[in-house]
Chain A
Amino acid sequence: MLTLAIVLPFAAAALLAFAPVSAGGSRAVAIATATLSLLALIVVWIGFIPGQGFQAMLEVPWIPALGVAWRVGVDGISLSLALMSGLLFVAAIAWPMEREVNARQYYAWFLFLEGASLGLFLTLDLLVFYVFFDLSLVGMYFLIGRWGHGQAQRSALKFFLYTLAGSLLILLAIIALVLMTDPLTFDMRELIALQPVAGMDLRAGLILLGFVIGFAIKTPLFPVHTWLPPAHVDAPGPASAILAGVLLKMGTYGLVRIPMQMMREAFATWALALAVVALISILWGSIVAFAQENLKRRIAYTSVNHMGYAVLGIAVAGSALTGHEAARELALTGAVVEMIAHGLITGALFLIAGAFWARAQDYDLAHYGGLAANAPRLMAVTWLASFASLGLPGLAGFVAEVQIFIGAFAVWPWIAAIGLLGLIVTAALFLGMLQRLFFGERPAALDKFTDLTWSELGILAAVLALVVLIGVWPAWLLDLIGADTALVFGGG
């Protein structure tokens, strides 16, 4: 079933790439494929028993000599991330294209990207993980470069090269890690059980550094985040939504799965340093976002802030081999919820930013104002997404952040206490954004600004409904994630 969820989008992408399908036809094919993929994941979810380690396994030998195989399987963390990604892809694909050119290729690349993204979360083979990690760059590169606006090609190239540099580091680290095993294996479960670099100092540290820098670029963390704002600003809205919602999660998911789980000892040694970087990201992301006059740049920098929370949670979770179990569990659960919440919320915010671009071809906040009257539906969803993003209780972001903070405080009180300041800055910056978009005088140029269409509203409502559901009733998601197993049994 998991393989089906990965292969379907690839197959449909190939179909669209080579078969002469009309624009409307490709759209229909893409939406149907993404929905089927999501359905396949939901079927897995129905059969999933939380707290039982990896499930829905499939293993097909590929290169036995190297221990490489097509292995798929999910635990609570990867299943919940894959479900979120599947949903977000349906939303992004169903969202109207910004520039309606080459629709067939556009949808083909989107499906290609979906296949790669789902593959990354679902695979249990480190080599396949890496392949999907790089393929996702390719898909996003073309989506930004060909269907973006402004300096799209430049931004796409910067995104591609910067994150490729990161993925090279990851590749080296993967190889170094795998070479420690005998016989060679790329099986994530075995690597988690083996802890191949346990007891080594320098080598383990270097390998860890490779992984952490590589994933930090993708996440992104301060100071390697500067590829993010231009990529977002020039990307089409739906691609931005996927970039923030799904691709950034690959960095944090990778951090959990590989360094935290496979190199517990080394990770625990360096967890505090990672937490400090996360703390700087939290503060820096929010402060820089506060000063942005460009709608999309502002949202983009809040991603640095939010992913900082997620990485803080991960650092706390891996901060020790024993002790503080309950706090570390809470922090890891919080980190995974943050990934999912950020995916849904920021995904929605970027789709909303896309709606602004589609109507006014402008992201400059100074050119907006007073839209509450002519776009009440747009205002309602922006409202909801903004408050979710600033961590208002009753919405998903709060669930994540409160758990991360509680867990972090038990381990490093001062980091949690300083990190709280991020909450106040995000509140100020989102309220300022709402104010400048929707309130006050309306510039004459915006008199003909139209509200969201019903299909746009429907897509956003579906995504945000989940944000509300997680916010008011988090238990189902927290149980599904089952962070305790990820820590105690090393994921397996």
Chain B
Amino acid sequence: MLWALPLFPMLAGLTIWATDDSSRLRLGLAAGSAAGVTLVLALLAAAQGWQGGFVWGAGLELKLALSALSAAVAITVPGVALAVVVFAAAHEERRGLARLVGLMLVFCGAMELAVTANDLLSLLIGWEIMGLCSWALIGHHWRDGANPASGRYAFVTTRLGDLGLYLALMATWSEAGALDYAALGRLEGLPLALAAFGILIAAGAKAGQGPFAPWLFRAMDGPSSVSALLHAATMVAAGAWLLARLHPWLASVPGWNATVIALGLFTALAGGAVAVIQGHAKKLLAASTSAQLGLMFVAVGAGYPGIATAHLIAHAVFKASLFLFAGIVGKAAGSYRLRAMGFLRALPRVAGLSALAALALAAIPPMGAAWSKEQIVAAAVQQDRLLGLAVMVAGALSAAYAARFWWLACGPGDAAPKTRPGWPEIAAPGALALAGVALGLLWLPPVQALLPLRLPESGALELIVSLVLLALGLLAGLALARRAELPQTGAADWVGLPALIDAGIVRPFERLADLAARLDDVALDAIPRGAAAAARQIARGGRRLPGLMQADLGLLDAAVWRVAAATRALARLSDAPGETLTDGLPEGAARLTGRGGAHARRLQTGLSHHYYAIFAVGTALAILFLIFARF
């Protein structure tokens, strides 16, 4: 039954894709109800503990099951997607709309497959189909060649990470003979380390951590609704979710937790810094996604996968909302340059509702996201005080960029909007923003008691320091927002990482490929060409010899021919049937070949005499061969 959860949105999405773009209303209703049904399916699956299995063959089986954490994510995904597809149907360009919303649903289905997977193979299948969807969606406006190029960048980067998952899969199978998650528990030593770090690479690539971060910027070439889906409910979120899901089996690997924390913390700080100075609305949000996912990584590394999942859900809700609002103000301003915005007066409802989402991003209590962030701080402090402080600084950065984003995009200004959003465009992100407020219930101890989570001890002192830093961050963000435009140096483009990757990996690889291709044409092909040239010389002399066959065969490859001749000489020493065979077989085959001589004459007049020779010699020998065989 659990198969319905991934398959329904996939099939519904493909069906919607097959229809035309004529009616926004129809597409919105169809895609919205498909996401709604998926949400109901997810709720049913969680309530009734559905499971699924499918015999793949060759001793492998795909298994689906929900844990408490994955059930929560499985419900969040269609919930966020519902708002996103409704928004997309109302907001995005009419041309290609059916494809856009259809693919978004397929994307959700792939995410649901990864979320419900209970073995590494099912996970890998969902994981890579997500990559396909991200490629197609980022390149949605394909008429501008830069967009598909960005899609390709995203796909190749994340697939590079997927190789880690392949590695984990191979290590697990070769040690445990099975691929279900429980098999991870039977690993130890090097295979377990390979699996653990392989999974970390896969998760880090999808989540835009560390060196993999730049693909998130390139992904901004997709429509804003795609960014919302990608960053909140699928793809990027999948990275943190995967670590949280597999944490119980991987945490025992030496150095794994520390690596997860280091990667997450680095990304949280670097991403935060990049976001603070970014001048492009969507790129600012993209950098903040990396940073927020980094915080989730820290939570996992500190031993609290449940907290990471809670922050993931809170993040999904407010980040989808912010991206959708960014789509509205971007359309209204005609570009995503934050300086061109400032719509408080012109679009007050947008400004008001997006303020709620921005407060959640800044992690200001009583937002739900603030609660999960403070839990991460507490978990980090418990690990190490300095780590806790670093996470607080990352939190202050998020307050700064959130404040700056909202102030520039929706704060006071005289910008006149080019277009005004319709009500569904405001309602969809608005509902998400309000949901983020509702998550504030998490601050209430009775609600916390209901959660299947282990919570870190948190002290009052830490909370106060954290909140003070938060306030400083807010003020700094507002101050930055009111200053003149920040210079967009290389630092704003992920501290120069994309340029480094381009110069250090992409260009050298292209040069390598060109070199290999030239080598292939020149050097490798020289072997047969040289043989042919040598043979032509032999053939010229050979015409005078009675055995035209030899000249023809010499054309093939001098070395091969020499071996053949030597072996043939050897075979002559053996018994009579053997000899018959050595001579008879090639000749017999040649006779059959000779049948084509008539065509060959038209084709290769220069060689036809060879074929005649083969024909004649072959026929004669074949007759001898048949006579011989009678005996």
Contact = CB atoms under 8 A, between A and B. Distances in A.
Interface of A: 63, 65-66, 105, 127, 130-131, 134-135, 138, 141-142, 145-146, 153, 156-158, 161-162, 164-165, 168-169, 171-172, 175-176, 178-179, 184, 222-227, 284, 287-288, 290-292, 326-327, 329-330, 333-334, 369-370, 372-373, 387, 392-394, 398, 402-403, 405-406, 408-410, 413, 416-417, 420-421, 423-424, 427-428, 431-432, 434-435, 438-441, 474-479, 483
Contact of A435 (B145, B177, B509, B607): B145
A413 B556 contact: no
Contacts of B581: 66, 175, 178
Given A105-B599, A168-B564, A179-B578, A406 B170 contact: yes
A131 B125 CA distance: 43
A329 B60 CA distance: 12
A431 B603 contact: no
A439 B148 contact: yes
Given A290-B513, A435-B148, A423 B143 contact: no
B528 A134 contact: no
A348 B568 CA distance: 42
Given A431-B135, A478-B57, A424 B160 contact: yes
Interface in B506-529: 509-510, 512-514, 516-517, 520-521, 524-525, 527-528
B181 interface: no
A392 B629 contact: no
Given A146-B603, A475-B56, A427 B159 contact: yes
Contacts of B166: 402, 405, 420, 423
B447 interface: no
A292 B509 CA distance: 14
A135 B56 contact: no
B124 A402 contact: yes
A288 B516 contact: yes
Interface of B: 55-59, 121, 124-126, 128-129, 132, 135, 139, 142-145, 147-149, 151-152, 155-156, 159-160, 162-163, 166-167, 169-171, 173-174, 177, 509-510, 512-514, 516-517, 520-521, 524-525, 527-528, 532, 553, 555-557, 560-561, 563-564, 567-568, 571, 574, 577-578, 581-582, 585-586, 588-589, 592-593, 595-596, 599, 602-604, 607, 629, 631
B555 to A, nearest CB: 6
Contacts of B155: 427, 431
B156 A410 contact: no
23 contacts: A158-B528, A161-B532, A165-B557, A172-B571, A223-B524, A284-B520, A330-B59, A369-B145, A387-B132, A392-B129, A392-B132, A394-B129, A405-B166, A423-B159, A427-B159, A431-B156, A439-B142, A475-B55, A475-B56, A475-B57, A477-B57, A478-B57, A479-B57
A432 B135 CA distance: 12
B400 to A, nearest CB: 37
A410 B585 contact: no
Contacts of B568: 172
A393 B166 CA distance: 12
Contacts of B604: 145, 153, 157
A288 B518 CA distance: 9
Contacts of A403: 58
B96 to A, nearest CB: 10
A142 B174 contact: no
A226 B588 contact: no
A426 B58 CA distance: 26
Given A65-B631, A142-B603, A291-B516, A168 B132 contact: no
Contacts of A478: 56-58
A291 B517 contact: yes
Nearest to A146: B603
A226 B524 contact: yes
Contacts of B59: 326, 329-330
Contacts of A402: 121, 124, 166, 169
Given A406-B170, A440-B142, A171 B585 contact: yes
A371 to B, nearest CB: 10
B517 A292 contact: yes
Contact of A440 (B145, B174, B177, B607): B145
B586 A171 contact: yes
Contacts of B563: 169, 172
Contact of A168 (B121, B124, B556): B556
Given A131-B589, A392-B132, A153 B603 contact: yes
Contacts of A175: 571, 578, 581-582, 585
A366 to B, nearest CB: 13
Contacts of A135: 589, 592
B567 A287 contact: no
B101 to A, nearest CB: 18
A227 B145 CA distance: 34
Contact of B156 (A156, A226, A427): A427
A165 B556 contact: yes
A441 B128 contact: no
Nearest to A383: B136
B178 to A, nearest CB: 10
B631 A161 contact: no
A333 B57 CA distance: 10
A96 B125 CA distance: 36
Contacts of B593: 134, 138
B399 to A, nearest CB: 38
B528 A226 contact: yes
Contacts of A162: 528, 556-557
A439 B160 contact: no
Which of A142, A156, A288, A330 has most chain B Cβ within 10 Å?
A288
A409 to B, nearest CB: 3
B177 A326 contact: yes
A238 to B, nearest CB: 18
Contact of A428 (B156, B553, B582): B156
A164 B554 CA distance: 12
A409 B629 contact: no
A174 B521 CA distance: 32
